Structure 1
Amino acid sequence: MTANTLGQVAVREVMDIRQAAEYLGISSDTLYRYASEGFVPAFKLGNRWRFRKSLLDSWMDEKSGVTPSVALEDAVDATQKKPMGRAR
């Protein structure tokens, strides 16, 4: 089976509009409009939009209010985590 067969998408650092739209979970038309308006970080290579995954991730963190310097695992003290139950 391939990665796409399993419903997983191979994410590249530089994505075209179709790949980036799938990564963000929006339509290509919406992402094209956002890129044209400067709402999302993007650049043109020739006449085609390109998107860097790292910039999209930073942009999403900024828009969602996540501080980039604090990773999710670092935000939770390991001693305060609930113990995992056994699998049945």
Structure 2
Amino acid sequence: MPDEILTLPEVAVLLKVAEKTVYTMAQRAEIPAFKVRGQWRFKRVDLDSWIEAQKASLNPATAQNETPPSDAAATERGGGRQDDH
């Protein structure tokens, strides 16, 4: 279902957190959500995008499928320290 709408308890299960946590995050606009007659609802596609953004903000190199250069690789490119002796 492309426009799947989730309830608060469903999002709590998806994220493996307490329902109160999801409720608080929605109130603080920390997670994409909207209300229908006073009840929080969440679009699955918005949550998927939000999850990816969270992953990217924690580790940009991993999110872009790049690995940071190792010390050996940096030395080979001339990026390592050189002794002047």
* Unpaired stretches in structure 1, ≥5 consecutive residues: 1-11, 68-74, 76-88
- Counterpart selection for 2:19 from 20, 28, 41: 28
Give me the identity figure in percent: 30
Task: Note the C-alpha offset of 1:13.
Answer: 1.4
TM-score normalised to structure 1 length = 0.60
Counterpart Cα distance in 1 of 2:51 and 2:11: 13
Unaligned runs of 5+ residues in structure 2 are: 57-62, 66-85
- Mapped to 1, the partners of 2:54 and 2:14 lie a distance apart of 16
Q: CA deviation at 1:59?
A: 0.3
Distance 1:24 1:31 in 2: 9
TM-superposed deviation, 1:22: 0.4
Number of aligned residue pairs: give it: 57
Q: Between Structure 1 and Structure 2, whose CA radius of gyration is higher? A: 2
Question: Which structure 2 residues correspond to residues 1-88 of structure 1 after superposition, within 5 A?
Answer: 13-65=4-56, 66=63
Say which structure is richer in helix: 2
Q: Say which SS state the counterpart of residue 51 (structure 1) adopts.
A: strand
The one-letter amino acid of 1:41's match is P
Instruction: Give the match for residue 75 of structure 2.
Output: none
